[in-house]
């Protein structure tokens, strides 16, 4: 039933995402158009940023596949439970653990920007994530290289202004210019396969230094505007993407440098990683839409009370016709030979849901923060908030959430699945009501992006 509900929401939602009300307040919708990973909420605690950063690094190591992790609740060790969509090889696991060990050696350093011990961490991380980092850098450098003369022009134009203090604007543009130059140098070495030698190490460190210098500006709307208005098109999205690894590294180095307890944990060697792999290999599941199944659906989702089977099927077909415009279209296929209308979706258990299931039968006193390398989807978000109603306490909190609707979302093994499904359906009905209304109000809903959300 949950897949049908998600399919209904997907069919009537004009975009790819459903935004919870609370998400509008945290970033005013500004983050929704960013390319790639979202910037994390800057209000996250240092401990949460540390977990976010670890998830990012593991994900980059495995080709940017979904990864979620938690710090095991009530553990006296720094015990991580890591769920990854792709089974990590023993070499990848030991590389990540070596990364954490190297991190412990940076613990005593707080003042220098990058000292020798931090340099070792940075170089090791860039090495283990190299395949993915190279891919991102090569793709983004192609976009950024032609903007260098435009940035130089903009700096010149600012410098020529009289009677106006534009030193900050010039500073921001110079940061962007340095970062792009370092990227181009890194790309040249990467394409010559030279990044692993000692000359390559110097390039990696220079790139990291330049990227962490520009990261604070990429959080700020005014600074992003300065950068983007200096060039044709935009550069902020590409810069955000190439900063993923360095931002994660910087967050971790800062966390270790400033957190006494964490340092003590790391120094004592009391670090453990438990890896779990949810059944993420997709399973094709058919969803049949006919009058009897529609009746069942209407009883769970009153928002569909005036919707006929034909209208529902038409709404899905319209959206599928838009093809790649909606990334979520990829997992859904209409089976044209089968009547009544049959849609095939690829079912899998998401990493966030797998971690919730992992802790389901444990009594947890505190809220567990689930860090994810990719923003959590709509159904995982519904599951986390519905668990509160079943357990009567605030047990789980997800990281960034963008509300992607994955119609193949599958329940993990949980104790209260039936009850949870009921709560989730009620919550999704509220969202569905809004989008169904908007759909019927708009003449061409798929060409109008402002349809109520």
Residues in contact with Zn ion by CB under 5 A are 350, 377, 380
Nearer to Zn ion, 301 or 380 (CB): 380
Measured from the CB atom, is 22 or 306 closer to Zn ion? 22
Minimum gap (Å) between residue 379 Cβ and Zn ion: 6
Shortest reach from residue 375's CB to Zn ion, in Å: 9
Of the pair 183, 380, the CB lying nearest Zn ion is at: 380
Q: Which is nearer to Zn ion, 118 or 348 (CB)?
A: 348
- Cβ-based nearer residue to Zn ion, 107 or 380: 380
Three-point CA angle 226, 229, 231, nearest 5°: 115
Instruction: Considering the complex, state which of residue 230 and residue 423 has its C-beta at the smaller distance from Zn ion.
Output: 423
Smallest distance, Å, CB 354 to Zn ion?
10
* Phi/psi of residue 19, nearest 5 degrees: -100, 130
| Residue (of 383, 298, 303, 288) closest to 13 by Cα position | 303
Q: Which residue number, 147 or 280, has a Cβ lying nearer to Zn ion? A: 280
Token code pair at residue 412: 């993990």
Rounded least distance, CB 448 to Zn ion, Å:
27
From the CB of 382, what's the least distance to Zn ion, in Å? 9
Provide the minimum distance between the beta carbon of 52 and Zn ion in the complex, in angstroms, as a whole number. Answer: 16
Smallest distance, Zn ion to C-beta of residue 380, A: 3
Report the nearest approach of Zn ion to the CB of residue 353 (Å).
6
Q: How far is the CB of 405 from Zn ion (least distance, A)?
A: 10
User: What are the phi and psi torsion angles at 259 (to 5°)?
Assistant: -115, 110
319 or 350, CB closer to Zn ion?
Answer: 350
Q: Least distance from C-beta 377 to Zn ion, angstroms? A: 3
Pick the closer one to Zn ion by CB: 350 or 431.
350
β-bridge mates for residue 376, sequence order: 401
Q: Report the residue number, 151 or 383, with the smaller CB distance to Zn ion.
A: 383
End-to-end CA distance of the chain: 25
């Amino acid at each position: 039933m949950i897949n049908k509900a998600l399919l209904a929401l997907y069919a009537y939602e004009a975009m790819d995402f459903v935004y919870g009300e609370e998400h509008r307040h945290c970033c005013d919708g500004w983050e929704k158009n960013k390319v790639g990973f979202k910037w994390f909420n800057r209000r996250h605690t240092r401990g949460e940023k540390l977990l976010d950063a670890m998830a990012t690094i593991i994900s980059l190591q495995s080709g940017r596949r979904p990864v979620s992790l938690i710090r095991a609740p009530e553990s006296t060790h720094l015990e991580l439970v890591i769920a990854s969509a792709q089974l990590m090889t023993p070499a990848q696991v030991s590389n990540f653990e070596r990364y954490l060990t190297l991190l412990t050696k940076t613990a005593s350093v707080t003042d220098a920007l990058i000292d020798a011990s931090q340099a070792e961490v940075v170089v090791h991380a860039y090495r283990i994530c190299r395949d993915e980092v190279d891919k991102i850098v090569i793709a983004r450098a192609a976009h950024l290289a032609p903007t260098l003369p435009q940035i130089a022009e903009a700096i010149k134009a600012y410098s020529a202004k009289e009677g106006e203090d534009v030193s900050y604007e010039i500073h921001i543009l110079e940061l962007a210019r340095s970062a792009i130059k370092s990227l181009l140098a890194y790309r040249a070495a990467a394409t010559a396969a030279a990044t692993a030698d000692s000359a390559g190490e110097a390039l990696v460190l220079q790139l990291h230094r330049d990227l962490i210098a520009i990261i604070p500006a990429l959080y700020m709307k005014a600074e992003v505007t300065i950068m983007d208005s200096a060039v044709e098109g935009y550069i902020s999205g590409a810069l955000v993407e190439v900063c993923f690894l360095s931002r994660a590294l910087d967050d971790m180095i800062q966390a270790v440098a400033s957190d006494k307890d964490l340092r003590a944990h790391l120094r004592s060697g009391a670090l453990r990683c438990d890896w779990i792999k949810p059944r993420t290999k997709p399973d094709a599941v058919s969803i049949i839409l006919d009058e009897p199944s529609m009746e069942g659906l209407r009883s769970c989702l009153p928002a569909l009370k005036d919707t006929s089977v034909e209208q529902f099927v038409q709404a899905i077909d319209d959206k599928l016709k838009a093809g790649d415009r909606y990334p979520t279209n990829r997992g859904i296929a209409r089976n044209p030979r089968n009547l009544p209308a049959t849609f095939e979706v690829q079912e899998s258990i998401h990493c966030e849901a797998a971690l919730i299931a992992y802790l389901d039968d444990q009594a947890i006193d505190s809220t567990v923060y689930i860090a994810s390398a990719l923003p959590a989807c709509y159904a995982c978000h519904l599951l986390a908030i519905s668990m509160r109603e079943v357990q009567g306490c605030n047990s789980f909190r997800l990281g960034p959430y963008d509300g992607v609707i994955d119609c193949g979302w599958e329940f993990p093994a949980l104790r209260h699945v039936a009850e949870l499904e009921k709560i989730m359906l009620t919550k999704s009905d509220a969202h569905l009501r809004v989008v169904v209304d908007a759909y019927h109000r708009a003449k061409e809903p798929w060409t109008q992006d402002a349809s109520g959300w």
